[in-house]
């Protein structure tokens, strides 16, 4: 079914095929000049020799990548053995970002669905309500979130008062707090794309499925979610990918006892290390792994899905 229209007739294909280049040109130019150029510069930097305390010396060197994969001991003169430190940091960040994304999805999808099923007139108001908290600076919001989660904070007080727990739980400075930090930083980035997709959903599909004796949860799983999948995926990308490099909120809540990818790279440019090529190399490794994943997704999306079109 997918891509069927492409073969059927030229009029039904790409409505904007001729204008395509012009439509994409502003994005291409902006991103090529302001993002791609700096990224290429950093790619070059990752293969240069580091200058002590920041900066680079224009001599080719593989040292940055070697540092990533090769452990030479505290004094740097042992024979090379596999370096797990940075791979572990990457793995930890991926894992945390993944859990945060899942958390966002669990809360964000019902919220988005709920908003999309409100009367049309009040929907924009709901969407505003979701983003307004983000007008307040992240640092301030995080300090307050930390206050909420403290041992004698409102959350613990509430839970002990309702006898859900007997003793206050230690929440700040734990892995859980790191995920809460990421989750809290990016929640609207899950809600809004899903809302935009669900808002379009044609409920006659659900009714048709119900007529065929599908239960509500089967409809949700088999009809609704596949139809709004682009929104879910967009939301997941917008939460997961920035989470990988984020560190401020997770560090403030989680105690920063372990580097995240973001804080590791930040340290190379803004810390004592001043090792720009290594920071650049770590970024390139992060970038290329995410890019590969996204490209695979993009390839699978070459034609918009038309599986569940109206009247099917």
Partner 1 sequence: MRSQTLNIRNYTGFASMTVVCLLILYLPLAVVAVYSFNASQSIVAWEGFSFRWYVDVFTGLESEKFKLAARNSFVIALTAATVSTMIATLAATGMTRGGRFRGRTLSFGLISLPLMVPEIVTAVATLIFFNTIGFERGLLTILLAHIAFCIPFAYLPIAARMQGIEETYEQAAQDLYATKRQAFTKILLPLMMPGIISGFLLAFIISLDDFIITNFVKGAGVETLPTAIFGAVKQGIKPNIMAISTMLLGFSIVMVTISYFVSKKDDEV
Partner 2 sequence: MKHLTQCTLAVVAALALTLGATTAAQAAGKLSIYHWFEYIPQELLDKFAAQHDVEVVMDTYDSNEAMLATLKAGALGEYDVAVPGDYMVAILIQEGMLDPIADGERKNMGNIKASFASPSYDPGWKHSIPYQGGTTSFAVDTAQYSGDINTTDILFNPPAELRGKINMLDSQGEVLTMAALHLGIPQCSQDRSQLEAVNDLLQNAKQHWASFNSDTAKEVLVSGDVTVGMIYDGFGAKARSEKASLQYAFPKQGWVNWMDNVVLLKDAPNRANAILFMDFLLEPENIAAVTNYARYVDAVKGSEAFRDPDLASQPESNPPAGISGAFIETCDQATQEVYDRIWTAVKK
Residues that bind partner 2 (CB under 8 A): 52-55, 74-76, 85, 88-89, 124, 139, 143, 146-147, 150-152, 172-173, 251-252, 254-259, 263-264, 269-275
Find the DSSP H helices in 199-274: 203-211, 216-219, 225-227, 229-245, 248-254, 261-270
Nearest-CA neighbor of 93 among 291, 275, 283?
283
Q: Minimum distance between the CB of residue 10 and partner 2, rounded to whole angstroms?
A: 32
The answer to whether residues 20 and 14 touch, using CB atoms and an 8 Å cutoff, is: yes
Q: Is 67 in the site for partner 1 (CB under 8 A)?
A: no
The contact mask relative to partner 1 for 233-262 (x = CB under 8 A, - = no) is: xxx-xx--xx--x---------------xx
Find the DSSP H helices in 70-220: 85-116, 123-131, 138-149, 154-161, 175-198, 203-211, 216-219
Q: Minimum distance between the CB of residue 132 and partner 2, rounded to whole angstroms?
A: 16
Q: What is the DSSP letter of 174?
A: S
Q: Is 35 in the site for partner 1 (CB under 8 A)?
A: yes
Work out what residue 152 binds among partner 1, partner 2, none; the CB cut-off runs from 5 to 8 Å by kind. partner 2
Q: Is 166 in the site for partner 1 (CB under 8 A)?
A: no
Q: Minimum distance between the CB of residue 167 and partner 1, rounded to whole angstroms?
A: 22
In the complex with partner 1, the residue whose CB is nearer, 63 or 190, is 190
The contact mask relative to partner 1 for 185-224 (x = CB under 8 A, - = no) is: --xxx-xxx-xxx-xxx-x--xx--xx-x--x--xx----
Instruction: Classify residue 213 as left (phi > 0), alpha (psi -120 to 50) or beta.
Output: left
The answer to whether residues 105 and 232 touch, using CB atoms and an 8 Å cutoff, is: yes
């Amino acid at each position: 079914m997918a891509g069927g229209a492409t073969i059927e007739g030229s009029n039904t294909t790409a409505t904007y095929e001729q204008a395509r280049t012009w439509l994409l040109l502003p994005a291409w130019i902006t991103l090529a000049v302001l993002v791609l150029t700096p990224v290429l510069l950093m790619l070059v930097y990752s293969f240069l020799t580091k200058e002590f305390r920041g900066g680079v010396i224009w001599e080719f060197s593989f040292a940055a990548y070697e540092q990533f994969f090769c452990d030479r001991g505290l004094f740097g003169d042992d024979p090379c053995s596999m370096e797990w430190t940075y791979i572990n940091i990457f793995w930890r960040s991926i894992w945390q970002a993944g859990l945060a994304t899942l958390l966002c999805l669990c809360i964000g999808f019902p919220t988005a669905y709920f908003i999309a099923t409100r009367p049309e007139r009040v929907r924009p108001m709901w969407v505003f309500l979701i983003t307004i908290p983000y007008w307040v600076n992240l640092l301030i919001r995080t300090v307050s979130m930390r206050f909420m989660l403290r041992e004698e904070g409102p959350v613990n007080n509430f839970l002990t008062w309702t006898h859900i727990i007997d003793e206050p739980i230690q929440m700040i400075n734990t892995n859980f707090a790191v995920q809460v930090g990421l989750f809290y930083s990016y929640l609207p980035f899950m809600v809004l794309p899903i809302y935009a997709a669900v808002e379009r959903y044609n409920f006659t599909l659900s009714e048709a499925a119900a007529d065929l004796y599908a239960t509500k949860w089967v409809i949700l799983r088999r009809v609704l979610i596949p139809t709004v999948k682009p929104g879910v995926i967009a939301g997941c990308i917008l939460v997961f990918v920035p989470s990988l490099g984020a560190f401020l909120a997770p560090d403030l809540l989680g105690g920063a006892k372990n580097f995240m990818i973001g804080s590791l790279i930040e340290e190379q440019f803004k810390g004592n290390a001043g090792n720009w090529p290594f920071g650049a190399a770590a970024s390139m490794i992060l970038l290329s792994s995410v890019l590969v994943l996204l490209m695979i997704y993009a390839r699978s999306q070459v034609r918009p899905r038309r599986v569940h079109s109206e009247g099917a």
